[in-house]
């Protein structure tokens, strides 16, 4: 087995962090967690994760801005970003895709769904 | 009462009242109309209404009324018009009536506009509230789904059979809660018309096919036979595909839920004049007659339903009516139910 893949989870809800982190660790991923938008950008630049799970409503800088920033930056623009959000509206999905998100999952979801989505981007 | 008093009454009515002749020219109006149109009655007299109010839907109603010399049939959809005042939108409910019928020359049309902007705003608040509530439900549901799902994998420790049963129960009730949140949101959006309709011509057969695709497995599990009957060339309907699939899915979903094992369900589509009638017939427990009138209302369930919230049929009705169609029910307790709805036929 190769090195475990690194996933950056950007989420500000404690209970969701617990659930998602557990779900990823059981599947052998390395998980970094940050809870606001600014830290998300700093950490992504520094750590170069293999994938980012990004909530949209975040303190300091929202998920759209984070996504736009990372996707326009040399070095992070190739990292797949999967948006995890409670926003079910079509406009939110459109906007996220416009700022470069690779995929859009609405909350709630089950562990299997999350694993499946991640496998589309990293093997 | 004196004529003067009557005049005063007319002038001070809170509704906007405008008297129009058959040339669409204003002959008289009240104070509220003066305010809306921004001129005094004096200077409005003889002016064409088209030049003063910019609302194509209202103009086409007036044209129709004058052309056919009768009031057009007004419903919830076409009787509400939107007028822009500065950067503010105002909403009015239109009603009209002819009077002075002797000679065509003396015929007038009384146009009454009732300001319903406040009602619209309340509706909007309601939709916003449901959107927020639905959103607020999703966050806690996420951690519950993840938590239960992770424990269920067994990878965090072994689970006893009783424990597994409880986890299944939690998961199924979370699914129910999520469905309720989704339904409330859909319903309020449909009610305020804030979901736009995307009409296209589509085969009734394809709609049924798409709806049944997600339900076949469920039918097999319950040992219920699921048939489709679309005789001859499948008729086209003019429909918002996703919404009508939603309706069929819901009706068949109900039929599955309220029909026992070894029952059968038949889904049909049949052209009748300018409409296509879809029907979902089951051999289930049926619905008592006293419920037939109210079963399409929100939260109405027979014996507390079974795991639903009583919103499905209310949403079906909203969707069908937004297509200009109707939905109805025939049922005999113990023998089964047939839910049918009609929507306009499409162009091939
Ligand atoms: N095919 C059917 N057979 C018997 N009863 C039905 C059927 N469809 C609907 N009902 C009754 O109508 C009620 C309202 O249905 P619906 O609005 O879809 O809500 P729900 O299914 O979520 O309770 C149900 O609770 C049930 O009592
Ligand atoms: Mg139902």
Residue of A nearest to B142 (CA): A108
- Nearest ligand to the CA of B302 is 1
| Cβ contact, residue pair B142, A111, below 8 Å | no
Q: Given this model, what pLDDT does residue B70 score?
A: 83
Please calculate the CA angle A90-A92-A95 and round it to the nearest 5 degrees: 110
Q: Is residue A58 part of a domain?
A: yes
Q: Which of B123, B216, B136, B218 is nearest to B178 (CA)?
A: B136
Q: Is residue A114 part of a domain?
A: yes
Lowest mean pLDDT among A2-16, B81-95, B295-309: B295-309
Which chain A residues are closer than 8 Å to B156 by Cβ? 22, 26
Question: How many domains are contained in chain A?
Answer: 1
Label residue B318 exposed, middle or buried (CB < 10 Å: 0-12, 13-18, 19+). buried
List residues in chain A touching B: CB distance below 8 A: 13, 15-16, 18-20, 22-23, 26, 86-89, 106-112, 114
User: Tens digits of per-residue pLDDT, A29-86?
Assistant: 999 999 999 999 999 999 999 999 999 999 999 999 999 999 999 999 999 999 999 9
Q: Is residue A17 part of a domain?
A: yes
User: Tens digits of per-residue pLDDT, B17-52?
Assistant: 999 998 889 999 999 999 999 999 999 999 999 899
Q: Which of B339, B327, B347, B323 is nearest to B239 (CA)?
A: B323
Its domain, for residue A18, covers 6-121
Chain B from 183 to 202: CB within 8 A of any A CB: 185
Q: Is residue A76 part of a domain?
A: yes
Q: Is residue A1 part of a domain?
A: no
Q: Is residue A22 part of a domain?
A: yes
Q: Which of B95, B94, B14, B18 is nearest to B52 (CA)?
A: B18
Q: Which of B244, B256, B171, B162 is nearest to B203 (CA)?
A: B244
Q: Given this model, what pLDDT does residue B194 score?
A: 63
Say which CATH number the domain at A92 has.
3.40.50.2300
């Amino acid at each position: 087995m190769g090195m475990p893949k690194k996933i950056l989870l950007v989420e500000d809800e404690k209970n969701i962090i617990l659930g998602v982190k557990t779900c990823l660790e059981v599947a052998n991923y390395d998980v970094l967690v940050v809870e606001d938008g600014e830290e998300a950008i700093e950490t992504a630049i520094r750590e170069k994760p293999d994938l980012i799970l990004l909530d949209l409503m975040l303190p300091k800088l929202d998920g759209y801005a984070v996504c736009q920033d990372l996707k326009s930056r040399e070095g992070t623009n190739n990292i797949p970003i999967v948006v995890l959000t409670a926003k079910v509206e079509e406009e939110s999905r459109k906007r996220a895709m416009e700022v470069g998100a690779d995929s859009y999952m609405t909350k709630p979801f089950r562990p299997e769904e999350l694993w499946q989505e991640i496998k589309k981007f990293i093997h | 009462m004196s004529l003067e008093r009557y005049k005063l009454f007319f002038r001070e009515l809170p509704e906007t009242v405008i008297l129009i002749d058959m040339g669409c020219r204003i002959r008289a109006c009240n104070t509220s109309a003066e305010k809306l149109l921004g001129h005094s009655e004096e200077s409005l007299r003889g002016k064409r209404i088209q030049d003063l109010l910019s609302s194509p839907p209202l103009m086409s109603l007036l044209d129709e009324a004058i052309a056919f010399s009768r009031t057009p049939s007004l419903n919830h959809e076409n009787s509400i018009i939107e007028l822009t005042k500065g950067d503010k939108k105002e909403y009015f409910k239109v009603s009209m009536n002819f009077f002075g019928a002797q000679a065509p020359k003396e015929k007038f049309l009384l146009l009454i506009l009732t300001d319903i902007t406040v009602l619209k705003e309340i509706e909007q608040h309601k939709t916003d509230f449901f959107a927020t509530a639905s959103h607020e439900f999703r966050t806690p549901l996420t951690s519950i789904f993840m938590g239960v799902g992770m424990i269920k994998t067994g990878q965090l420790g072994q689970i006893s059979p009783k424990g597994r049963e409880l986890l299944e129960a939690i998961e199924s009730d979370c699914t129910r809660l999520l469905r309720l949140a989704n339904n409330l949101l859909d319903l309020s959006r449909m009610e305020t018309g804030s979901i736009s309709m995307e009409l296209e011509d589509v085969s009734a057969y394809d709609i049924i096919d798409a709806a049944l695709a997600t339900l076949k497995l469920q039918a097999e599990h319950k040992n219920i036979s699921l048939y489709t009957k679309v005789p001859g060339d499948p008729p086209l309907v003019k429909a918002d595909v996703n919404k009508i699939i939603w309706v069929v899915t819901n009706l068949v979903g109900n039929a599955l839920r309220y029909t026992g094992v070894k029952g059968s369900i038949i889904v049909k589509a049949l052209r009748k004049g300018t409409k296509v009638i879809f029907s979902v017939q089951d051999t289930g427990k049926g619905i008592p007659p006293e419920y037939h009138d109210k079963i399409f209302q929100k939260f109405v369930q027979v014996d507390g339903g079974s795991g639903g919230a009583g919103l499905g049929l209310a949403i079906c009705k909203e969707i069908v009516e937004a297509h200009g169609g109707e939905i109805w029910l025939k049922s005999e307790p113990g023998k089964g139910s047939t839910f049918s709805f009609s929507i306009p036929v499409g162009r091939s």
